[in-house]
């Protein structure tokens, strides 16, 4: 009986260790131009999990760093193609 308890204890410790390693792994990341809803003037580049990309794209953010993109002042047509949800583009 002691052997069984010892073996089960070792297995549990091993599984807990593996779970801890897997949960600390960071998945693929991507840099996006994040436009805070209601505050497009505060657009800034952030790096997020690739899993969060669809949610960000759905509210008007775009792939790539903000600095690499056109602005409303320099090229309004380009800007509105990139950020169609910006109130300035309506």
Instruction: Enumerate residues 6+ apart whose C-beta is below 8 A from 83.
Output: 35, 40, 43, 60, 62, 89
Question: Looking at residue 34, what is its pLDDT?
Answer: 93
Q: What is the pTM of this model?
A: 0.49
Handedness of CA 68, 71, 77, 79 (dihedral sign): positive
Residue 9 lies in a domain: no
Number of alpha helices (DSSP H) and beta strands (DSSP E) in the chain: 3, 3
pLDDT, one tens digit per residue, over 9-59 is 566 565 555 544 444 456 899 889 999 988 888 889 999 999 999 999 998
Residue 8 lies in a domain: no
Residue 11 lies in a domain: no
Residues of the domain holding 72:
28-89
């Amino acid at each position: 009986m002691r052997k069984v308890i010892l073996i089960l204890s070792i297995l549990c410790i091993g599984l807990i260790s593996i779970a801890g390693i897997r949960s600390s792994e960071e998945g693929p990341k991507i840099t996006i131009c994040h436009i805070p809803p209601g505050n497009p003037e505060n657009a800034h580049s952030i790096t997020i999990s690739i899993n969060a990309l669809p949610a960000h794209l759905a509210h008007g953010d775009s792939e790539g760093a903000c600095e690499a993109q056109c602005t409303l002042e320099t090229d309004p047509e380009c800007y509105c193609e990139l950020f169609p949800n910006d109130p300035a583009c309506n």
